[in-house]
Structure 1
Amino acid sequence: MTDSTKPQLSDIAARAGVSLATVDRVINRRKGVKERTRGRVLEIAREIGFLSTEDAERYGTERPLNMVMLLPAGSNPYLRLLGERVKARIGRSGINDPFLRCFFIESFDATALAEALRKNAAWADAIAFFAIEHPEVREAALEVAAGGTRLVTIVSDLGTLPDVAHVGLDNRAVGRTAGLLIGRLAHSDTGAVALVAGSRHYRAHSEREAGFLSIQEEMFPHLRVIGMREGHDDAGENYRHTLALLDQAPDLVGIYNVGGSSSGISRALRERDRTTVTFIGHGLTPDTRRALLEGSMDAVFDQDPDLLIEAAIRALSQPEPRPRPLRLEIYFRENLP
């Protein structure tokens, strides 16, 4: 190597007597390298000018965690927004920030999520994931946690699974809040109210349903609750469910979308000229903002995606037994940010 040639990773590998893959792991601050080897690679990188003394000292500090976020794939606008925010967070990461990756897993597919947990645990020190309540997922989570990978569920959890913390809302309280709003805002003291969800396999959705039903029975027994429809966070399915609900219950006075893709519901209400039906959903995204402004939606429950991401990273970096629930934000047409 001449003075005019910029040092390469292969030069470090040759001097240190290690593989190019090992040097790559050290320079990219990934796990899987013994501390003695890492120190030798950094020393040679400094000696040949690949790293400055200052950079080598920073690299010599404790390695940042490798983190993965696993999110459901699909057309849910809030989850797409969450993925975009994770990518933006990756783009502005500094050298001492966690090394973060994000992958989308087929929605509602417990087997795919369990496989993704096991696969990513080989690289990741910590994984945040949108949980599906299913035996395969619970078993994979227990196995991965026992192997030393930190786990945190986001938005929807796995219940009281040991060593797996949760970052998200108090979903039962969220459901009760939705029931309270519909009971207070409905244009009639009697009539039917309906729920639409992504899937009961998401504990968040089943807990919101339970909270909603409890307050309806407690405070609004005169309102008739129609059994929950599963729309799989798909706008088309939600649209068809809403048309069927309107046909089934001409006295429908309220709809609570427990999951996402509310645009299908607001579309059906507009087409049937039933925007007097009180409609509450989740996730402040362009479609729900538009529905609030045009009057086909009354309220949107939101959890700021950036705050959710930072809370997940914090919970993975500094584990605590039970992180506090995140703050629920409620938007109406009059207080849109």
Structure 2
Amino acid sequence: MPPVPNPLPRLIVYYQTHHTPSGQHISVLPLTQKEISLTHLIVAAIHINEDPNALTLNDHPPDHPRFTTLWAELRVLQACGIKVLGMLGGAAKGSYMRLDGDAETFERYYAPLAQLVRERGLDGLDLDVEEEMSLRGIIRLIDRLRKDFGPEFIITLAPVATAMTTDLKKYNLSGFDYWELERERGKDIAWYNVQFYCGWGHPSMYSRMARRREREFESLADIDKWPARKLVVGLVTNPGNGNGFVEWQELGSLLVGLAASHESFGGVMGWEYFNSMPGGESEPWRWAQMMTALLRGWTIEPLPEGQQQAAQQKAALNDGEAAIFHTDAYAEEDGHNSVAAPVPGEFEYYSDWAEGA
């Protein structure tokens, strides 16, 4: 069967909280509704532990009975044309440290991961590197995934927004330089799920990061910018999932403006599914439904004239400003009065009901 085309803009949701506190499964089948144009779902979070054969999906082995319904539903999504990826890593550190060792150590820890991808028929992996890793180490992992799973396997990364605009390590959770990675292995990376939240940025940064047109370096302002098709705007779907939640009225105008300004707008991803607004825990699929409407160019509710102009200004590319977006500029846009974006403290990893990315 030929691969499903990769549409733009993408609509992606992360799915890490799989059960309610009482243990009830949180279904993703509503995401297959006709009025929802979900393109990708990323199931999280796969962790490589000290014992190479003790992989976990959050806190339990991937073959634990609690995940029986989850894996069955993910096959239904795939049958509907939605690509399903696994997220490796995230806030709980250790997975990438174990893959960044010598060749023998890499093989020991990589083999069970590859087996999981095969067994579950995943369409790709999202590499969420939130710990120090070397550039050679991430390249080795990407090369091996490409070799083992072929040209249609989707490889993505999930950097914080500031990691895409500066080479300063304090604004980058991953350790390696994303520009260098793109130069060396960009052909193998489908896109970047950029985290514009938790103190790392605001969606209005997108236009300063992305080229307006696909043609390379149309102007000097494009030299240090990313192809828009490779940048996905990452959002928190509920204020409880992290700071930086953008209200729907502002978000609607902003995203419509971005899609209109960039001929190959990369799309939107939401962290995470289970409590997505406006439906919340009872109807989390409504976030994807409303986002589908926005990405199709529809509107939710018109903003008052003054607010609409302000939102459109945030989305517009300012050709008179510097080509490279610096963190002090981000801070001013995000309401921090030109104070550089704070580096969040250590994340605390919770069990299935309330993990963080």
Indicate whether the TM-score tops 0.5.
no
Q: Which has the higher strand share?
A: 1
Question: Based on CA coordinates, which of the two structures has the bigger radius of gyration?
Answer: 1
Q: TM-score normalized by structure 1?
A: 0.29
Choose between structure 1 and 2 for higher RCO, CA contacts under 8 A separated by at least 6 residues: 2
Instruction: Point out the structure with the larger helix share.
Output: 1
